[in-house]
Copies of this chain bind each other. A is one copy, B any other.
């Protein structure tokens, strides 16, 4: 990488390849609060009509899918492509697993909580995750004041005896760290949220083979608008209960979204196997590597922030050692404990999510690394301009 500010922002061969519009109103706040994965648009645009899918008026009227899956609304084409992609990437075992499809992985988190919560207890089961945890877990667990399960906060300080459910997010959202369960109890049930266990974000060190594993197309290919997630579930009864949850909650999952997701996953697998195609994961990994290098340079040049560091690990997929390039940057303001990093960035028209939302402190923020080039470039420009908290704030 070259060394000037301008170069940091503008010279990247990857991320500046398809700038749509590099001028935004200076007054517009850049929204990096959500992990909206629009960065991937450039790849899919290049794929041309390879992923086109057309629906006729008489397609998919029925509630039921055409497969013989335990999950009665799961389209067999999607089931096939999910299994194929995991086999190509080697990030999860699929043989002898049940697949349950969901309207994004958020719905599957609720389905997993429903399936794993005992029904014969007077008290709701405690649900925990180690800080910093995904900001939606408390809300998803408690929003309808369920009597089945109750958010109990940081897994590290959880000391209650008895039953619990622990969310293990690996790589972790917000900080990208590889995780194992934290609670040392023998009555725990684990939900592995593996949304980011894909080669563009982290080394694939072994195929995951946990009891309940959640994935989503949003973070794998960028198709967040489709709202397609899937669970790989070892136990038949758990898969059956999760399917029941989906049935009551939404009577299944959109067939259009499932069939399009099948097509997209098919093209991703093809791109990994066909040397004439541009490998999706190599493309997106190089994009992420470039963005992270540029961000690290801005942060190094600015003495006020720190970024999480990640170890080099051997990746089974790329057959090489690589560093993590998480979907979110977990930025830490140096300085006093009461430093409000989210507020500081907001003053500089960068909208991020405060560490507080993740059970962590005000000095931290989570920043999406998956925006369109234009927004990412403006973000770096604005971050570079920050020299410390505004006086009096």
| A residues with CB within 8 A of B | 34, 36-38, 40-41, 44-45, 47-64, 103-104, 106-107, 110, 114, 124, 136, 139-140, 143-148, 218, 222-228, 245, 248-257, 260, 264, 267
Among candidates B106, B144, B250, residue contacting A146 with C-beta atoms closer than 8 Å? B144
| Partner among B36, B52, B57 whose Cβ is within 8 Å of the Cβ of A267 | B57
B45 touching A58, Cβ below 8 Å: yes
Option from B59, B61, B248 in Cβ contact (under 8 Å) with A143? B248
Contact between B63 and A57, CB atoms less than 8 A apart: no
Q: Which residue from chain B places its CB closest to the CB of A255 in the assembled complex?
A: B225
Inter-chain contacts of A253 with B (CB < 8 A): 103, 227, 254
A-B contact pairs, 14 of them (CB 8 A): A37-B61, A38-B61, A40-B61, A44-B57, A48-B57, A53-B55, A103-B227, A114-B144, A139-B248, A143-B249, A145-B147, A226-B256, A227-B253, A253-B254
Contact B106 A249 (CB under 8 A): yes
User: Do A254 and B256 touch (CB < 8 A)?
Assistant: yes
Not counting A51-B56, A52-B55, A103-B250, a sample of 9 additional A-B residue pairs whose C-beta atoms are within 8 angstroms of each other reads: A40-B61, A44-B58, A50-B57, A51-B55, A61-B223, A106-B249, A144-B148, A224-B251, A227-B253
Nearest to A228 among chain B residues (CB) is B254
Task: Among B52, B63, B104, point to the contact of A36 (Cβ < 8 A).
Answer: B63
Query: Which B residues are in CB contact (< 8 Å) with A54?
Result: 52-55
Give A66 Cβ to nearest chain B Cβ, in Å: 10
Distance in angstroms between the alpha carbons of A34 and B103 in the assembled complex = 21
Cross-chain contact A260 with B52 (CB below 8 angstroms)? no
Whether A63 and B260, one on each chain, are in contact in the complex, defined by CB atoms closer than 8 angstroms, is no
Distance of A375 from chain B, by nearest CB (Å): 12
Residues of the B chain whose Cβ atoms lie less than 8 Å from the Cβ of A136: 248
Nearest CB in chain B to that of A45: its residue: B58
Complex contact B64–A36 (CB within 8 A): yes
Give A183 Cβ to nearest chain B Cβ, in Å.
23
A345 to B17, CA, bound (A): 66
| Contact partner, A254, options B103, B114, B148, Cβ 8 Å | B103
Residues from chain B with a CB closer than 8 A to the CB of A227 are 103, 250-255
Q: Which of B38, B49, B250 contacts A104 (CB 8 A)?
A: B250
Nearest-CB residue, chain B, relative to A64? B36
- For A252, list chain B residues within 8 Å (CB): 225, 227
Tell whether A225 pairs with B50 under 8 Å between CB atoms, given A148-B145, A249-B249.
no
- B residues near A148, Cβ cutoff 8 Å: 144-145
